[in-house]
């Protein structure tokens, strides 16, 4: 139950981040909703395609879609307020990312995936929505820019796989994974951590 509620919260926050970028790109109501909904449910759809869940849950049942749509609509109407609370949204986003990474890993294990596929599919669930969002609005995905985002996602899904490998409770894995991913992401935002960039190419000068 709690996991479901947290899952909807994650979808809502991701959808809001997509819708806000749509507003900034001057898209119309429909475009804003498409970017918002895609960002909110895109990761889960790609997870289901990789695992062979047909049709993907978010397309087959209404709650995920309804949450993403409501969140996008809210942003379209109330975006000036959203702009002001963007730092707060980043915290929600970190929480949603952690939850998607751990639930994605857990679902992959449930469908017979290996530990490796739990790590990779969990992290993919967490980051894919944002990548789709950035490709749709024609920007180099934020994921590839200087911003520690996917490493926390991998940490979260790997935690779930480790807990599963040790034979401990799946719910414990979900909690550990979500806390680890969200915590590292917030630390990275707070400390402005980034991964290194390769030394300058002589050819570019």
Site for a copy of itself, rule CB under 8 A: 22-32, 34-35, 45, 49-52, 54-56, 59-62, 65, 76, 79-80, 83, 108, 111, 113-114, 116-117, 120-121, 135-141, 143-146, 148, 150-151, 194-198, 201-204
Give 137 or 175: the residue with its C-beta nearer to a copy of itself: 137
CA distance 68 to 47: 17
Q: Give least dist CB 8 to a copy of itself, A.
A: 16
CA distance 60 to 57: 5
Give 172 or 193: the residue with its C-beta nearer to a copy of itself: 193
Two tokens, residue 49: 């395609």
Q: Give least dist CB 94 to a copy of itself, A.
A: 17
Q: How many CB atoms lie within 10 A of CB 183?
A: 15
Q: Give least dist CB 167 to a copy of itself, A.
A: 21
- Judge whether 148 and 188 are in contact, CB under 8 Å: yes
Q: Give least dist CB 56 to a copy of itself, A.
A: 6
Give 136 or 174: the residue with its C-beta nearer to a copy of itself: 136
Two tokens, residue 4: 């479901």
Cis peptide before 55 (omega within 30 of 0): yes
Q: Give least dist CB 164 to a copy of itself, A.
A: 15
Q: How many CB atoms lie within 10 A of CB 48?
A: 21
Query: For residue 60, how far is the Cα from the chain centroid?
Result: 20
Give 167 or 202: the residue with its C-beta nearer to a copy of itself: 202
């Amino acid at each position: 139950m709690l996991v479901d509620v947290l899952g909807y919260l994650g979808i809502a926050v991701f959808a809001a981040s997509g819708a806000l970028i749509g507003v900034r790109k001057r898209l119309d109501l429909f475009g804003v909703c498409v970017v918002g909904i895609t960002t909110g449910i895109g990761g889960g759809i790609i997870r289901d395609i990789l695992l062979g869940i047909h049709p993907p849950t978010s397309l087959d049942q209404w709650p995920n879609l309804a949450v993403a749509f409501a969140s996008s609509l809210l942003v379209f109407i109330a975006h000036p307020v959203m702009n002001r609370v963007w730092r707060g949204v980043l915290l929600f986003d970190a929480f949603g990312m952690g939850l998607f990474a751990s639930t994605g890993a857990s679902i992959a294990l449930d469908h017979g995936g290996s530990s490796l596929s739990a790590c990779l599919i969990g992290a993919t669930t967490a980051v894919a929505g944002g990548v789709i969002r950035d490709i749709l609005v024609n920007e180099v995905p934020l994921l590839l820019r200087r911003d520690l985002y996917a490493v926390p996602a991998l940490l979260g899904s790997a935690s779930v796989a480790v807990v599963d490998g040790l034979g401990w409770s799946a719910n414990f894995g979900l909690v550990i994974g979500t806390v680890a991913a969200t915590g590292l992401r917030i630390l990275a935002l707070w400390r402005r951590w980034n991964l290194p960039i390769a030394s300058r190419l002589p050819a570019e000068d």
